[in-house]
Every structure is written in C-alpha cells, then in structure tokens.
Amino acid sequence: MLSRVADSVYWMSRYIERAENVARFVDVNLQLLLDAPEGQDQQWDPLVAITGDYAEFGRRYGAATESSVIQFLTFDSDNPNSILSCVRAARENARSVREIISSEMWLQLNRFYLMMNSAAQEPGGLDHHEGFYDEVKQAGHLFSGITDATMTQGEAWHFSRLGRMLERADKTSRILDVKYFLLLRSAEDVGTPLDDLQWAAVLRSASAFEMYRKRQGRISPRGVVDFLMLDREFPRAVQFCLLAARDSLHAISGTPPGTFRHGSEKLLGQLCSDLSFAGVDEVIQHGLHEYLDELQTKLNQVGLGIIETFFAFKTPHPGKKAARSAAQ
Amino acid sequence: MNFVSYEVGDFYDELLTDAKAARPGACHLLHSIESLPPGEFARRQVAAERALMQMGITFNVYGEQAGVEKIFPFDIVPRIVSAAEWTWLEKGLKQRIRALNLFIDDLYHEQKILKDGVVPRAIILSAQSYRQQCIGWEPPQGIWCHITGTDLVRHSDGQIYVLEDNLRCPSGVSYVLQNRQVMKSLFPKIFAAAKVRPVQNYPLKLRDMLEYLAPETVATPRVVLLTPGIYNSAYFEHSFLAQQMGVELVEGRDLVVEDGQVLMRTTQGFERVDVIYRRIDDDFLDPKCFRPDSMLGVPGLMEAYKAGNVALANAPGTGVADDKVVYAYVPRIVKYYLGEDIIVPNVPTYICAEEQDLRYTLENLDKLVVKAANESGGYGMLVGPHATKEQRAEFAEKVKAHPRNYIAQPTLALSRVPTICADHLEGRHVDLRPYILYGKEIFVLPGGLTRVALKKGSLVVNSSQGGGSKDTWVLADTPAFEPESANGAAQPVTNGRFP
C-alpha cells in the first residue's frame, strides 16, 4: 500500500487513542481530587507536565488551575495534543483514506468530531456537561470496535492497530505517572486508606478496576504497577499493547517473529523481552518514574523507526530496481 | 403532486410540450408522479437528500471553516432524453471530440490549420492554455483529450447547442453515478418501466480507457488517480472514482521520478506507475516543466511522459481547445479536419478579436452574454440583460482593452424541467453535461449531469451559485424522434392529468 495511506491510517488510530487517553488523564485527576482531604491544594500542574508542553502552557495560561488545564487539554486548538485537536487530526487523516477505511468507521469518526465541536462551543464549557469524558472514552472505544469489526484485517488494519497499541502503551505508562507525581507531594500518605483510594482511581481511569480485582484482589501499589505494566492479557496493560504492536509490525514486514529486519522491529522486540523478564519488584526498585521515563523514550524511538522505515523514505535505494507488485 | 397549476411558460420544457402534454417517453413518469399519494413525492425528495448526506456525497466549500462539507442539492424529477435525440447527440459529440483531438495534435505538430489561416495564429499563441513545452510531444495512441465533459443547453427554439468544451479536468461524473443509485432505490418501479440506459459501467470504461494508454511493454498496467488532496473541492469525486475503478488514489508527494520512470512510495518500497489519471491542472503537474512553485506536482514527470514511460490523461496541452475563443472556431475546425458540417451546433458566438464582431458586441451589450476566454464557473462574465448601465460601461472598457480575451453570445432561454418547490412543481432551467471517453474508440456515457438552477428564474446552474442536479434518463427506446412541432406525437391532456 501507499506509504502516505499507511501513514494516515496509523496516525488516524493513534490520534483517536490519544484523544481517549487524554480524557482518561483528566478523569483520573478529577477522581483523585474528589477523594483528596480537605485543605490539600488541588494539583493540576502534574497533568500538564506529563501530557503537554509545560513551557507553552505556562506562557499562555500562567498558573495551572482546574479550568485552565481542562481547557488546555480538552478544547485548546493550539495545543496539538488536546482532545479536540486529536479528533480533528484523526478526521483529517481519515478523510485522505476514505477509500481504504469502511464507511462505518468514517461515520463514527465524523460523529465524534461533531460532538467535540459542539461541546467546544457550549457556553459555560463543561460545567453542565456531566460525563463528558466518559462520552469521549466511549466514542474512542466505538471507533476501535468498529475498526476491528468492519475493516479487512490486512496491511492497513495492522498499521491501524500498530498506531493504536503504541499510543496506548505510552499513555498507560503516563497514567501511572500521574499517580507518581501526586505521591511525591504526599509521601506521608503511602499505605493509608487515602493511598488505596487513589490507586483505585488510577485503575478506574485505565478501565482496569474490575479486571485487577479478579487478578490481584487487594489493591496495593505493587499490584497495580504489576498489572498495568506487565499483564499479558489485560488489553490496556503496557506489555499486552507492546506484544500486539509487535505482532502487527511483523505481519506488515513479513519478518518471522524473534528476528528483525529493521531498527523498529529490533527495538520493539527488545522492549517486549525486557518487559517479559522484568519483575515488578525490579521496576519499583529501579524507581517507577525512571523506569517509565525510559520506556517512553524507547517507545518514541520505535515510533520514529516506523516512520523512517515505512512512511518517510525519500528516494529509491540506489541500484535497486523498483518492484512491480502482482496485479491488484 | 400534479401538473394542474404547472406553467410551461415561454420556455422549452424537457418533459412537457407547450400544450402540457407529455413528451415522448415522459408519459409514464408524469403519470406515476401524479398517481402517488399526496405528500409521497415530497417525502421521497427528503429521503434522497438524507441518503446523499449519509453516503458522504459532499463537496468542500472554499473559504469557510475547515471541515465544512455540503451536499450538492439533488432534485428527484429526472430529465428525460429520448433514444432518437440521444443517437443524434452521441454522433455529434463523437464528431466534435474526434475533430478537437486532431486539432490539438496539429497545433503541437505541423500547425496546418494555422498555416491555412482557418484559425488565426495570434489567437492560439495568445491562449493562456497553449503550452509551448508540448510542441512535438506524442501522447500515447495519439490521443490528447481522453475525458471530456461537454456542456449542452437547449434554447427556446428547441435546438440543443454546445455551450462549452471542457477538456481539462471535467468533474461531476460521480454525481451522475450516485444520483442514479439514489433514483433506483427510490423509484424502482418507475425506473424499470422507463427502460433507462445504464450509466453504472462508467468506472469500468474509464479504467479500460486508461489501461489502453499504458506503454505497450507493460502486461498489467498500474493506473493511479492523481488528486491535489483533501482540500480540493472535488476531492470526494477523486476518492470515489479511485475506489470504483479499484486504483490507488495518489498525491504528488506519493510519486517520484527516477531514471525516467514514475514510482510510487509504498510500504514495501517503490512501485512503478504506468498511467496517471490526473485531476491537477497542467500548470501544477511538474515544477520542472510548468509552474516552478507548484507543490502539488511531481518534479520530472514531464520527462518520464515524453520518454513514453508513463501516460497522462488528459494529455498536457489539451486545454488549448478549451479556450472560449477557440470554441468559436470549432465548426470551422470540424469542417477542416473531417470535411463534415458540424452536427450539434455552437451557440452563435461573436469573437471580439474580429473587428466586425467587436463593434456588434459593444453596440448590443444589453442583449448579450460576454465571457472571458479563460475563466470558468461563471466568473469573468457579463449577463447584459441583467446588468446595470454602469456595469455594462465598465465591461465595455475591459473588452476594448483586450478584445482577444472576450467572446459574446446571445442570452439563451435555457430549457426547463419540472422541479420540486416545497409541495408543488415549477419549471427550473437546466443544462446537460455528458461525459465522453476517448480510448480505443470514443464512448459517450448515455446520461450525464443535468445541472439545475434551483432559484426561480435563475440561469446560473453552477453549484457554487445555487445550482443542483438531476438524474438524466437516456431512454433505450421511445417513439421516433421528431423535432418538437406544435402538434407532435404527444398526447393531449385533460384537466392537467395524464391518461
């Protein structure tokens, strides 16, 4: 398939997943604040720190308050990672590949876009829009469900899943980071009932609460990290996402599993092994934040490698004759 | 809905005679419209609009906020063309295209027609769309104008005239196909009884024609459709045609020229491209050959084309036959190359570059439509009878300053077709754009885009100015065609109802 088309399908899925996850960040913070003890300051700047450009935010908004952060992450069209910007970008990408995706996918994406546009224009913002972030999550789920149910699971679909899974792995790790930032501020709370409540909120925002209960039972920081990072069967766990991304990458390149032909395959394979053989205690000992930080850096490299290998090559390789693929 | 209060007026009506009888072939349709329960017809109109919106058959509106897409308004009363009239039109269009192709080929080679003084050399050399670069080029199979959408109009005298030749990138055929789809689902019975000739094989014909242009050494040609991208107003059509033909939709940045071959970037490396249906103007095709600032094109494309390694449809340079002044010479062009009289006539045209015509034009501005040679979409135009004295004076100055750039034509009373206006029918003016493919042979799609001016009294059918469209039914067989006389074969009506 055309590189540009693969590029668009990949980013279409990534942006939808990103929009959904930004909604999860905001939601987890709102949940945590509901449980915060009286007198404790609201903490919104960590959200900006891990999702957006801190300097850019400071320059335009000044102090991080509930309303400024929510505006920045939800409706700010100058922030390329706001939910509104992500949905718009996803739709632009989808428009350029309308002949590749199913019409149901297009319809759902268009509906999502119209919903975001009308919410952005509501007077009074989200004050009277209860459950808005749930709607965003729902719209994201619906899109990926429709994608899996209506799109031929060939090369284009694999690019779509690759984008979605890499994005989700990155964002699940960042959801854990939100809690980390809050922990820093309130080290004395560790192990208290408040701490438990906060970890439960983290799980909920990754739609992981019930699934965690079945797997781990009692809520503990160790258990939550183990589950969200290393579980191989929970579809939002980092390990699960990376394994799925790896499968799609190999399906696209045709390289047998366990081997590699280009940089992104190698890196992603290594990352999967690292996680497979990492114990949760090592992760915690290493420092959760540092571990997550390294993971995110590697994920970025995988993403750049994919762009380089499949989308952005500029000139034909010297001496290599152009292949003529079989008649379509 | 019925025709009791319907007024034919002083115009030619495509479905009814002056005496409000059904024209040949329209009888069953009109009868069916009248026999539907009250409100049913209007309900189906709403259903049609909903279907078009859901199918995403929209066009982009320039100058509005990103993401604004509108449907091209659609009216469910079709226009009917009898089999005999179509036979005549088809013959005329084939004749015209054959002659224009010979003309373009001559202009870029020997220029016999200029040497013989049939078309003034100055007119051609000053045409904006004449490309010096194309001199001596040999397009595959000797064909320049592969896809044409000729605009036709019918005057109140009942005669069909050619209004414009669109040989560059005529658009609209996707609406023809989609309109038909909607009509078939809304009126299956009426449709079946009318014996309408099919249009649905157009994408197949188009692909066949494009494959015919591929270099002979290629066994399974790779055809692509080159679009300027999602912000182009016709992007929907590009993506629809690519999908229907089963070919890749590419943008300039997907293509690269290497060793005189056009290659496209795929995830598995570069693959060769043999035929490009380009929906980009000549100017933007190749920054190395035409406009150097073009971001849409492919550097080096023209070198690959000249080397015969890739075919382009339509061929670069074709637009010269699209110049409105050149248009005025088409009857002479047909005579010159084919030795035949033109079958479907031109609208009488005054060429302002010619002394006598210029004088006539300036003296009769209040009766004429004056058009700039290189504009389209209703721009750069003066409709004399509707203009103020000041506007006419202003336009006269422009014409005097650059007579070469203008032609003038009498104001036509375009024919009308009954059209839904809320709960009743009124006549609205229409034109007709059939699509012609020139490959191994010349194929005229039996149908075409009937554009309708939805505003009462308006003659402007362009979608940017309140125009809509109708399905065009070319009938497979109807009573012999007779130019409509006062008491033709049509049946008389009683009480405005059809028997």
The whole-number average pLDDT for the span B338-367 is 94
**Structure confidence by residue, pLDDT tens digits, A134-174:** 999 999 999 999 999 999 999 999 999 999 999 999 999 98
Report which of B2, B83, B44 is spatially closest to residue B188, judged by C-alpha positions: B44
Residue B137 has a pLDDT of 92
Distance CA B5, CA A152 (A): 54
Residue A316 has a pLDDT of 61
Residue B6 has a pLDDT of 92
Mean pLDDT score across all residues of chain B: 88
Is the pLDDT at B261 greater than 80? The verdict is yes
Distance CA B333, CA B328 (A): 10
The whole-number average pLDDT for the span B148-163 is 95
Residue A63 has a pLDDT of 86
**Structure confidence by residue, pLDDT tens digits, B413-458:** 999 999 998 888 999 999 999 999 999 999 999 999 999 999 888 8
Is the pLDDT at A324 greater than 80? The verdict is no
In terms of CA atoms, which chain A residue is nearest residue B273?
A324
Report which of A135, A172, A170, A181 is spatially closest to residue A32, judged by C-alpha positions: A181
Distance, in angstroms, between B468 CA and closest chain A CA?
24
Is the pLDDT at B494 greater than 60? The verdict is no
Distance, in angstroms, between B144 CA and closest chain A CA?
27
Is the pLDDT at B256 greater than 50? The verdict is yes
Picking from A2, A98, A314, the nearest residue to B266 by CB comes out as A2
Is the pLDDT at A320 greater than 60? The verdict is no
Contact B246 A96 (CB under 8 A): no
Beta bridge partners of B263: B256, B272
Backbone angles phi, psi at A281, to 5 degrees: -65, -40
Q: Specify the CATH number of the domain B350-410.
A: 3.30.1490.270
Distance CA B314, CA B90 (A): 21
Residue A218 has a pLDDT of 85
Side-chain-side CA neighbours of residue B312 (13 Å): 30
**Structure confidence by residue, pLDDT tens digits, A15-73:** 999 999 999 888 878 877 777 766 566 678 778 877 767 788 988 898 888 889 999 99
Report which of B430, B328, B425 is spatially closest to residue B81, judged by C-alpha positions: B430
Contact A322 B246 (CB under 8 A): no
Distance CA A208, CA B1 (A): 60
Report which of B29, B40, B80, B39 is spatially closest to residue B498, judged by C-alpha positions: B29
Amino acid sitting at position B68: V
Reduced DSSP (H G I as helix, E B as strand, rest coil) percent helix, strand, coil of chain A, to 5: 70, 0, 30
A206-244 core/surface letters (b: 16 or more CB in 10 A; e: else): bebeebbeeebeebebebbbbbbbbbeebebbbbbbbbb
Contacts of A196 (CB under 8 A, 6+ apart): A219
Q: Which residues of A touch B272 (CB under 8 A)?
A: 322, 324
Contact A99 B253 (CB under 8 A): no
Residue B404 has a pLDDT of 87
Is the pLDDT at B258 greater than 50? The verdict is yes
The whole-number average pLDDT for the span B457-486 is 73
Contacts of A228 (CB under 8 A, 6+ apart): A172, A175, A176, A202, A203, A206, A208, A234, A236, A237, A238
Who wins on pLDDT, A123 or B442? B442
**Structure confidence by residue, pLDDT tens digits, B193-215:** 888 999 999 999 999 999 999 99
* Cβ atoms < 10 Å from Cβ of A256: 9
Residue found under tokens 């059509």: B237
Residue A279 has a pLDDT of 87
Which among B266, B296, B309 is the top mutation candidate for probing chain A, defined by the most A β-carbons within 10 Å of its own β-carbon?
Answer: B266
Locate A147 and state its tokens: 């994608």
Which among B231, B262, B267 is the top mutation candidate for probing chain A, defined by the most A β-carbons within 10 Å of its own β-carbon?
Answer: B267
Strand order in the sheet with B275-278: B248-250, B223-226, B275-278, B311-313
Is the pLDDT at A313 greater than 70? The verdict is no
Q: Do A171 and A300 touch, CB atoms closer than 8 A? A: no
Q: Do B16 and B6 touch, CB atoms closer than 8 A? A: yes
Q: Do B227 and B249 touch, CB atoms closer than 8 A? A: yes
**Structure confidence by residue, pLDDT tens digits, A61-89:** 988 888 899 999 999 988 999 999 999 99
Distance CA A280, CA B377 (A): 68
Contact A1 B269 (CB under 8 A): no
**Structure confidence by residue, pLDDT tens digits, B207-255:** 999 999 999 889 899 999 999 988 888 888 998 899 889 899 999 999 9
- In this structure, the strands spanning B406-410 and B350-351 are antiparallel
Contacts of B279 (CB under 8 A, 6+ apart): B169, B171, B225, B226, B227, B228, B232, B234, B237, B238
Backbone angles phi, psi at B257, to 5 degrees: -105, 130
Residue A149 has a pLDDT of 97
- In this structure, the strands spanning B261-266 and B255-258 are antiparallel
Q: Which residues of B touch A95 (CB under 8 A)?
A: 230, 235
Lowest mean pLDDT segment, chosen from A25-34, A294-303, B65-74, B485-494: B485-494
Contact A113 B67 (CB under 8 A): yes
The whole-number average pLDDT for the span B282-300 is 89
Contact A313 B265 (CB under 8 A): yes
In terms of CA atoms, which chain A residue is nearest residue B238?
A99
Contact A328 B246 (CB under 8 A): yes
* Position A318 confidence tier, pLDDT thresholds 50, 70, 90: very low
**Structure confidence by residue, pLDDT tens digits, A214-271:** 888 888 888 998 999 999 999 999 999 999 999 999 999 999 988 998 889 999 999 9
- Would you list which residues of chain A are within 8 Å, Cβ to Cβ, of chain B? 1-6, 88, 91-92, 95-96, 98-99, 103, 106-107, 113, 155, 159, 252, 310-311, 313-317, 320, 322-325, 327-328
In terms of CA atoms, which chain A residue is nearest residue B239?
A99
Contacts of A88 (CB under 8 A, 6+ apart): A77, A113, A116, B66, B67
Residue A74 has a pLDDT of 93
Domains in chain A: boundaries? 3-311
Q: What is the CA radius of gyration of chain B?
A: 23
**Structure confidence by residue, pLDDT tens digits, B29-86:** 998 888 888 888 889 998 888 877 766 666 665 554 545 567 788 999 999 999 999 9
Picking from B56, B243, B265, the nearest residue to A3 by CB comes out as B265
Residue A184 has a pLDDT of 52
Distance, in angstroms, between A322 CA and closest chain B CA?
5
Chain-centre distance of CA B357, in angstroms? 27
Q: Do B423 and B42 touch, CB atoms closer than 8 A? A: yes
Report which of B57, B23, B50, B27 is spatially closest to residue B239, judged by C-alpha positions: B57
* Position A183 confidence tier, pLDDT thresholds 50, 70, 90: low
Cα torsion angle, A29, A32, A34, A36, sign: negative
Residue B482 has a pLDDT of 41
Cα torsion angle, B44, B49, B55, B57, sign: positive
Residue B74 has a pLDDT of 93
Who wins on pLDDT, B5 or A11? A11
Contact A322 B263 (CB under 8 A): yes
Domains in chain B: boundaries? 350-410
pTM attached to this predicted model: 0.82
Is the pLDDT at B134 greater than 50? The verdict is yes
- Would you list which residues of chain B are within 8 Å, Cβ to Cβ, of chain A? 54-56, 66-67, 220, 222, 229-230, 235, 239-240, 242-243, 246, 248-251, 253-254, 256, 258, 261, 263-272
Is the pLDDT at B337 greater than 80? The verdict is yes
Distances (CA, A) of A130 to A134, A135, A188, B240, B246: 9, 9, 33, 40, 46
Contact B251 A4 (CB under 8 A): yes
Distance CA B13, CA B154 (A): 10
Contact B222 A324 (CB under 8 A): yes
Cα torsion angle, B127, B133, B135, B139, sign: negative
Distance CA B186, CA B191 (A): 9
Is the pLDDT at A310 greater than 70? The verdict is yes
Residue B51 has a pLDDT of 78
Which among A98, A104, A112, A115 is the top mutation candidate for probing chain B, defined by the most B β-carbons within 10 Å of its own β-carbon?
Answer: A98
Backbone angles phi, psi at B81, to 5 degrees: -120, 125
| Strand ranges in B334-434 using DSSP code E only, listed in sequence order | 350-351, 368-372, 381-383, 406-410, 416-421, 424-433
Distance, in angstroms, between A8 CA and closest chain B CA?
12
Residue B409 has a pLDDT of 94
Distance, in angstroms, between A42 CA and closest chain B CA?
37
Residue A167 has a pLDDT of 96
Distances (CA, A) of B450 to A4, B163, B199, B463: 36, 14, 14, 12
Q: Which residues of A touch B271 (CB under 8 A)?
A: 322-325
